[in-house]
Amino acid sequence: MVRAVTLKDIARETGVHVSTVSRALDPRARDSLTDEVVARVTETAQRLGYRPNRLAAGLRTKRTKTVGLIIPDITNPLFPPIVRGVESVLEPAGYVSIIVNTDGRRDRERFQMQVLMERGVDGVVHAAVERDDPYFDDIRQQSLPIVTVNRALDFDGVPGIVNDEAAGITAMFRLLHDAGHRRIAHIAGPQQLSTGVERLEAFRAAARDYGLDVPEYYISRSEMFVFEEGYRCAEQLLSLAKRPTAILAANDRLALGAMRAIDDQGLSCPEDVSVTGFNDSDYLELIKPGLTTVRVDKTGVGQRAAETLIAMLENPEAERPKRIVMPIEAVTRESVAPPKAD
Amino acid sequence: MVRAVTLKDIARETGVHVSTVSRALDPRARDSLTDEVVARVTETAQRLGYRPNRLAAGLRTKRTKTVGLIIPDITNPLFPPIVRGVESVLEPAGYVSIIVNTDGRRDRERFQMQVLMERGVDGVVHAAVERDDPYFDDIRQQSLPIVTVNRALDFDGVPGIVNDEAAGITAMFRLLHDAGHRRIAHIAGPQQLSTGVERLEAFRAAARDYGLDVPEYYISRSEMFVFEEGYRCAEQLLSLAKRPTAILAANDRLALGAMRAIDDQGLSCPEDVSVTGFNDSDYLELIKPGLTTVRVDKTGVGQRAAETLIAMLENPEAERPKRIVMPIEAVTRESVAPPKAD
DNA sequence: TTGTATGCGTTATCAC
DNA sequence: GTGATAACGCATACAA
């Protein structure tokens, strides 16, 4: 930190008291002062290059205009656009964010939450929640405002901005079914994440709606939303006697892993096996075959999350939304084709 | 912010004075106290779940254990690994970072720097500097410790962690030359960035070393390191009467744009035109043909930058390094092939 | 070895 | 309308 211009300096310079300077610089208190004083103070502040010390203000007011942003891993391409969305709303409102990574580990989640509390964050945008984080009870008791984004908690009380998982999965299922597929397998996401369970449930529901009886061995559960797990699960599915003709993966990274596995087995996508993803990650348009997937508005969820949090901060009494579901869009590329005749 | 346990609470509970509690919790002051008191205080702190208020401490000590991290745009895949590198070093040292995006705009750079100063950051890791930022003079006078990463300033006094641009470009040039190319063009990066100029200089030097006379019209200057600019510059180069057989691009995104342009002209890479990039962005292994490029240790530069900054913070008197150059590695994939016979 | 007093920069609550 | 004063939570120089 660095010696900076303070209210005291301006007070000395203008010949008024510090508290007057403080008022003159506060839009809400300004009108109790003479226009002349306000003008002199603001001019001097400008001239001296005054910048408020947020630490001191925060110490006094208990509001730091800082929010925590908890994400699993910034190198996962899903999150940078969410982060930008959050910040695009925070910045004009005068907030900054402190970003912390959990790497999907619960102990780190708790630890990082403590780190944020030490810094006196006004609230938290949480993009790394697991369905049943037990420590959330504590958090709620401390009444620290939290909004989850992309994922949701199993219980209410914490607003969550999520995507329309059901619509997305249904759209992918329909695409595959319409192309003629009847042996459709699912690579499910981790079941401790809301996205994992909801997409699996939606898959089952879609199958039911289409009157398709999907055997249990057509559902392969991944441990994490990563390429390697997609590869592993796809290998399993492809080795089945009754090989599926299509794989509906719970996200893009799983889908990419599956595509690689298909390739490595001497098969090809989409001729032998069709594949779909979820998220529409940024770089997907560059790969071949283009992955048919569900586009989610990553920036949008981030923005909504930030807006929701700020609303909670500026108006603590207002009723909090429970869950905001954002619309999705199906993106058709080349990874889906009709199944080969048997 | 939320009502938390303070030193005062612990003092009341243990029957000693606040200052004693403060000392007992400070490793450097601890040894001036009775073991018994230290034990009682730490036990109580533990039990009550005490967490220091960093704002108050920072207000008092002028050190917040917070650093600013200025980047152009977190959605540019080059930066997340750098950010992780920085944080992997900051976190164990008890620091957090406030990340701000400049979008490559100077006015935003200044503004964000102000934002960081208001927050009392101890120092800044700057990944978005332009070569001759004029306001850097001010900054240096304020003696706010700064380290640049990935890019460098033209003048000394601010340590910079950079990659070995010359070695990277030379390696790509050699690959192309060894494959038989003699008509090698360059898509240069923006010349207000150190990476842009240094890679262009290195290109010229390499050509000289290989006794190749590269005409000026084989050098196409991009305005930004983006796909679209790579496309535009490549179109220019491909429309030349004496079409180059290889394009050495100043980074991966320019290279990808060039590949698309080649494709759109009915040509193919690498059969008709070879292409190389720089950075080895994360998703490159997924695209076809695989891009031959320069791998830079993104996490590594981030780590070194954080280490350097922390060293400056903890030991302000020590001499500061001027420039740290990190080694690179050539990555050979499929985008380079011998030129077609004329 | 421990307690007392003070101040970091700001804002809020009093007076005048 | 403006000034004086206290307090936020902590760290430290000084006393005892």
Q: For chain A, how many structural domains are there in total?
A: 3
Whether residues A283 and A202 fall in one domain: yes
Closest CA to B55 of A50, A1, A108, A20: A1
Mean pLDDT of chain B: 94
Query: With an 8 Å Cβ cutoff, are B118 and A51 in contact?
Result: yes
- Give the residue numbers spanning the domain of A26: 7-52
Distance B19 CA to D14 C1' (A): 13
Whether residues B154 and B69 fall in one domain: yes
B321 pLDDT above the threshold of 70: yes
Whether residues B177 and B290 fall in one domain: yes
pLDDT (0 to 100) of residue A154: 87
Query: With an 8 Å Cβ cutoff, are A53 and B120 in contact?
Result: yes
A315: CB within 7 A of chain C nucleic strand = no
A312 pLDDT above the threshold of 70: yes
Closest CA to B310 of B150, B121, B163, B157: B121
Q: Which residue is nearest to nucleotide C1 (CA to C1')?
A: B33
pLDDT (0 to 100) of residue B342: 63
- Is B340 inside a domain boundary? no
Whether residues B85 and B198 fall in one domain: no
- Is A58 inside a domain boundary? no
pLDDT class of A104 with cuts at 50, 70, 90: very high
- Is A1 inside a domain boundary? no
Tell me the nearest-neighbour CA distance from A180 into chain B, angstroms. 28
Whether residues B154 and B171 fall in one domain: no
Closest nucleotide (C1' vs CA) to A17 is D3
pLDDT (0 to 100) of residue B136: 74
Mean pLDDT of chain A: 95
A1 pLDDT above the threshold of 60: no
A342 pLDDT above the threshold of 70: no
Where do we find the tokens 């934002």? B115
Q: Does A66 touch chain B (CB under 8 A)?
A: yes
pLDDT (0 to 100) of residue A316: 87
Whether residues B152 and B172 fall in one domain: no
B2 pLDDT above the threshold of 60: no
- Is A339 inside a domain boundary? no
Query: With an 8 Å Cβ cutoff, are B1 and A121 in contact?
Result: yes
- Dihedral sign of CA atoms B72, B73, B76, B78 in order: positive
Residue type at A187 in one-letter notation: I
- Is A257 inside a domain boundary? yes
B3 pLDDT above the threshold of 70: no
- Is A215 inside a domain boundary? yes
Distance CA A70, CA A129 (A): 9
Residues of chain A with Cβ-Cβ distance to B4 below 8 Å are: 117
Whether residues A138 and A172 fall in one domain: no
pLDDT (0 to 100) of residue A11: 96
| Inter-residue contact A244 to A185 (CB < 8 Å) | yes
Whether residues A204 and A190 fall in one domain: yes
| pLDDT (mean) for B71-90 | 97
Distances (CA, A) of B268 to B137, B245, B284: 49, 11, 18
Whether residues A124 and A33 fall in one domain: no
| Inter-residue contact A289 to A128 (CB < 8 Å) | no
pLDDT (0 to 100) of residue A326: 98
pLDDT (0 to 100) of residue A285: 84
| Inter-residue contact B145 to B313 (CB < 8 Å) | yes
| pLDDT (mean) for B119-127 | 96
Search chain B and give the residue with CA nearest A75.
B80
Residue A233's CATH number:
3.40.50.2300
**Angle B257-B262-B266 (CA atoms, 0-180°, nearest 5)?**
140
Residues of chain B with Cβ-Cβ distance to A1 below 8 Å are: 58, 62-64, 120-122
pLDDT class of A215 with cuts at 50, 70, 90: very high
Closest nucleotide (C1' vs CA) to B51 is D9
**Residues in chain B, total:** 342
- Is B342 inside a domain boundary? no
Q: Left if phi > 0, otherwise alpha if psi is -120 to 50, otherwise beta: which for A103?
A: left
| pLDDT (mean) for A234-242 | 97
- CB environment B146-176: b (16+ within 10 A), e (fewer): bbbbbbbbeeeebbbbbbbbbbbbbbbbebb
- Dihedral sign of CA atoms B162, B291, B221, B206 in order: positive
pLDDT digits over A142-184, tens only? 789 999 999 999 888 899 999 999 999 999 999 999 999 999 9
| Inter-residue contact B247 to B232 (CB < 8 Å) | no
pLDDT (0 to 100) of residue B9: 95
Whether residues B29 and B67 fall in one domain: no
B113 pLDDT above the threshold of 60: yes
pLDDT digits over B153-180, tens only? 988 889 999 999 999 999 999 999 999 9
Whether residues B284 and B302 fall in one domain: no
Distance CA B276, CA B209 (A): 19
pLDDT (0 to 100) of residue A2: 54
Tell me the nearest-neighbour CA distance from B139 into chain A, angstroms. 10
Residues of chain A with Cβ-Cβ distance to B97 below 8 Å are: 98-99
pLDDT (0 to 100) of residue A263: 96
Global pTM? 0.95
| pLDDT (mean) for B328-332 | 98
Q: Does B97 touch chain A (CB under 8 A)?
A: yes
Residues of chain B with Cβ-Cβ distance to A101 below 8 Å are: 84, 87
Closest CA to A121 of A289, A310, A334: A310
Whether residues B135 and B221 fall in one domain: no
Alpha helices of A134-266 — where are they, by DSSP H? 136-142, 165-178, 194-209, 227-238, 252-264
Cα-based torsion angle of the residue sequence B186, B189, B195, B200 in order, rounded to the nearest 10 degrees: 30
> Chain B neighbours among A 119-138 (CB < 8 Å)?
119-122
